[in-house]
Amino acid sequence: MTDDQTKATLSTQSVEEAAKNPKNLGEMEGADAVGTVGRSDCGDMLRIWVKFKEEGGRKVIDRATFQTFGCQTAIAVASVATEMIRGKTAAEAISMSGEELSSPLGPLPPMKIHCAQLVEDALRSALDSASSMTDARIPLSGQTGPTLADQITPSSGKVKITLLPKAPTA
């Protein structure tokens, strides 16, 4: 087995393990920020909830959770990413690339890189407004948006899904 094959095998095993035992899965009551994205090229959707706390005079991420309609790689990347951003400011978390957010899993196969980009985009969606907020402007606990399932369940006979542009292919 070559070094590349060994890395690919270890990455696949890491993804499978993270997907079988995801951390921070589910909705979060009282989230301070929520971001939802979807991809037309693969059909995946992801929502991330973020809760902040004051630590050392800085507003940092206390906890993040997620829900996804996606493959095991999307689940795995979201799981490790929600762990990685804990303790970071919104600006620090936004600056992380999909590659950084998925790095604990090892290199992703080229056809799964979009999963890391999906997580990056959902995180940016949640935190873009939060990174520029002052303490007074961060939403109060208890204010939550609809769940991911609520958002795609038609209440009026229509469903609105906002899809991101197709990821560029190399």
32, 130 contact by CB (below 8 A): yes
63, 28 contact by CB (below 8 A): yes
pTM: 0.71
Among residues 8, 25, 42, 133, which one is catalytic? 42
- Top-level CATH class of 3-134? alpha beta
Q: Kindly report, residue by residue over 136-167, the tens digit of the pLDDT.
A: 334 434 445 555 555 555 555 554 555 566 66
The ranges assigned to domains in the chain are: 3-134
Among residues 115, 116, 118, 126, which one is catalytic? 115
Note the pLDDT of residue 6.
43
Confidence of residue 8 (pLDDT cuts 50, 70, 90): very low
Question: Which of 4-8, 79-83, 120-124 comes out lowest in average pLDDT?
Answer: 4-8
Q: Which two tokens stand for residue 121?
A: 């985009």
Note the pLDDT of residue 140.
37
Note the pLDDT of residue 118.
94
Query: Rounded mean pLDDT of the chain?
Result: 79
Phi and psi at residue 75, in whole multiples of 5°?
A: -65, -45
Q: Kindly report, residue by residue over 95-139, the tens digit of the pLDDT.
A: 999 999 999 999 998 899 999 999 999 999 999 866 655 443 344
Q: Please confirm, yes or no, whether 71 is among the known catalytic residues.
A: no
